[in-house]
Amino acid sequence: MLALVPDAFGGRGGIAQYNRDFLTAASTAPGIEQVEILPRHAPDAFTLPPGLRQVAPGEGRIGYILRALSMALSGKIGVIFCGHINLVPLAALAARLSRSKLVVQTHGIEAWGDPGEPYRGALESADLVLCVSRYTRAQVLSWGAINPERVAVVPNTVGSMFTPGDASALRTQWGLTGKRVLLTVARMDARERYKGHERVIASLPSLPGDVVYVVLGEGDDTARIEAFAQDTGVADRVLFKGGVGRDVLIEAYRMADLYVMPSTGEGFGIAFLEAMASGTPALGLAVAGATDALCDGALGIAASEEDFAAALARQLAAGKPDPKALSAAVLARFGSETFTACTRSVLKRLLQG
């Protein structure tokens, strides 16, 4: 398998994480002897699991294209994996030239609207289109003339480091002892204003005074959201902690009483899973891919936009459920074993077909 990806190992962000998870699982699938990864970017150091080989990123667009075609035509490739819709014309060409099967991964908002030619035609030539959520799948099928059986859902998986545990130290460190903590982990990017920070902040005045909202993440929209908290009169109840390292993130998830992210634009919403795997209940909107992470309300709460404020109050009043039971339920549906089994079964179907 040749993987053409924007980034994977050594990359940052959700798409890089998904690609790492998928390619690691794919390397264990029957019929896949080797996974060769050609990323566009790999800024960080990394360690590769067995069965994978990642070459250095191509230099510039032309260099990347030549490298991709050269690898595809090496004679060893049977499957081309395309990790982002932006790369699909190249991946489709590589698949056609090498007579390989084409697998295209779609994530979120980048695949929700018709990308036009040549992206649409290239995607329609895929043997298998993978989507992170049912919503993304439905959107792809709305503009792509492709048989529905060739469009499958392989959702995000949650890292094994996200487990329940004691987070009193962080609570003390951040001065939150005796408070009830709402948490959102998301980029604060002007292009991602759908995350819903303002909706949570706007709800604070109607919630009891011991409720504090902790916001993790950074981005060019931070100042605007801070100003909104100021204007709403709750600046003293909103803690902007910026970007944090992995260890603090894990502690923050454990510490929170409720993870809340009323986003209207999630491809999936991996943070919901991370919070629930850490034993913290999650509240989002029944909109787009978030319904998958929340399992239509079976794992988390998927509220309507109208009912969001009331659902938030209800959930805070209900308190935190058994963290271990919640974590176990999340792992059963989205743990690495489930993800690997899911990946292997769709690849098996692809290779049989």
Residues that bind other proteins (CB under 8 A): 131, 133-134, 137-138, 141-142, 145, 147-153, 155, 292, 295-296, 298, 332-334, 338, 341-342, 345-346, 348-349, 353
d(CA 154, CA 340): 10
- Least gap, CB of 243 to other proteins (angstroms): 29
d(CA 234, CA 201): 7
- Least gap, CB of 215 to other proteins (angstroms): 28
Reduced to 3 states (helix: H, G, I; strand: E, B; else coil), residue 179 is: coil
Neighbouring residues of 116: CB distance < 8 A, sequence distance ≥ 6: none
CB nearer to other proteins: give 66 or 341.
Answer: 341
d(CA 42, CA 50): 18
d(CA 272, CA 326): 12
- Least gap, CB of 19 to other proteins (angstroms): 19
CB nearer to other proteins: give 221 or 292.
Answer: 292
CB nearer to other proteins: give 148 or 319.
Answer: 148
Q: What is the dihedral of CA 319, 324, 327, 333, to 10 degrees?
A: -120
CB nearer to other proteins: give 135 or 259.
Answer: 135
CB nearer to other proteins: give 70 or 345.
Answer: 345
- Least gap, CB of 134 to other proteins (angstroms): 4
Cα angle for residues 300, 303, 307 (degrees, 5° grid): 145
- H or E stretch covering 330: helix 323-334
Q: Which two tokens stand for residue 237?
A: 């109840």
CB nearer to other proteins: give 182 or 350.
Answer: 350
Q: Which two tokens stand for residue 337?
A: 């074993």
- Least gap, CB of 120 to other proteins (angstroms): 10
- Least gap, CB of 74 to other proteins (angstroms): 29
